[in-house]
Structure 1
């Protein structure tokens, strides 16, 4: 067959630009099942994570993928088989035991920069319970100490605490005598140390015998 009649390689085929379509090319395609070679969703998630620069974007991508039905076990398996993957440690920590219950970039930052960095006791994540005749879910609960943490991200709470949040906080206080501390990006990202001081104070007021640890020589936890 002459070169003029030889089929073009898959890697060189052109696709016309279309709204909402972004073309990625690769020279080898894995088998996902059946006769057609295709890229699986889990592989695509890791491909996208590899290209991201921001840790917050990686956390958001992985959390969205898991909520959409991508199995964490398959993502972990694919991550382990890759020779090179940016943010590998972050992806593995989010999908493994260490990241259990983390469902947003804000929550990831809270656990990392407020809770763990200042050695506060670990809270139970994503607790579902019935309060005030309604089913509610709590971001983080310090079981036995009566302190709850709600993280109001921009997506779910664009204008701060909602009317439903206020009702829920009141019901929890009345029925369980538990307090709810609410934090937004400003508190977690710009003021993690000050937030740790407040959480520690709340925990100690409810019987916690430990002490928060400063994360630096200038950390206000020292005071």
Structure 2
């Protein structure tokens, strides 16, 4: 676990990341720590899982393993992980390809959620958006539209505050584009999917 033969002694990167993630009482901060470590390419979800298996006692082990499995499947940010766990899975939306590499007008880019019929971009920026980044995002959306597919750009409100309503809206868009499935009701007693089904 530790590199005691080095001067000065230090923890392996994976163990240091796990220390920070486990010590955080906030789930969002925990996911952010793990996702950031993997996105930096200094480690991988599999290496973090292996490092965690070396520890006898880990609080929230099952949940941490699930988060790392999601990161290994392609969720690279807190918002992407929340989309998977709050919008996509509980409402039966189709499983996408994640972080799909493509070449656009601004060079190589990665699409957060590619459903074939629809591309979903998860914008986790809060108050530090720059005009240049916004311009790049608009170009990316145009590139996708040029392929004959729309882009749905989601932020914190759609994913954290209104996940059920967001799932209903995405399902409607997908159905208009040819998806033959239906969204499913999540465990929330006031899930918007149930309300929509009753209204229909």
Class of the TM-score when normalised by the shorter of the 2 chains: 0.7 to 0.9
Any gaps of 5 or more consecutive residues in structure 1? 1-29
Alpha carbons 2:32, 2:77 under 8 Å: kept: yes
Larger Rg belongs to: 1
State the number of aligned residues: 191
Q: Alpha carbon RMSD of aligned pairs, Å?
A: 2.4
Query: Contact between 2:35 and 2:71, CA under 8 Å: does it hold in 1?
Result: no
Contact 1:119 1:212 in 2 (8 A): yes
Instruction: Output the CA distance in 1 between the equivalents of 2:22 and 2:71.
Output: 21
Q: Any conservation in 1 of the 2:71–2:81 contact (CA below 8 Å)?
A: no
Residues 1:210 and 2:173 are matched in the alignment: no
SS in 1 for 2:120: strand
8 Å contact from structure 1 (residues 94, 100) kept in 2: no
Structure 1 segment 62-211 matched on structure 2, within 5 A: 62-68=34-40, 69-96=42-69, 99-132=72-105, 134-143=107-116, 146-154=117-125, 158=129, 162-174=134-146, 176-211=147-182
Aligned-pair distance for 1:99?
4.5
Which of residues 28, 33, 42 is equivalent to 1:56? 28
Structure 2 stretches of 5 or more lacking a match?
Answer: none
Could you state the TM-score of these two structures normalised by the residue count of structure 2?
0.85
Question: 1:100 Cα shift?
Answer: 1.3
8 Å CA contact 1:118–1:213 kept in 2: the answer is yes
**Matches of 1:123 and 1:93, distance apart in 2:** 18
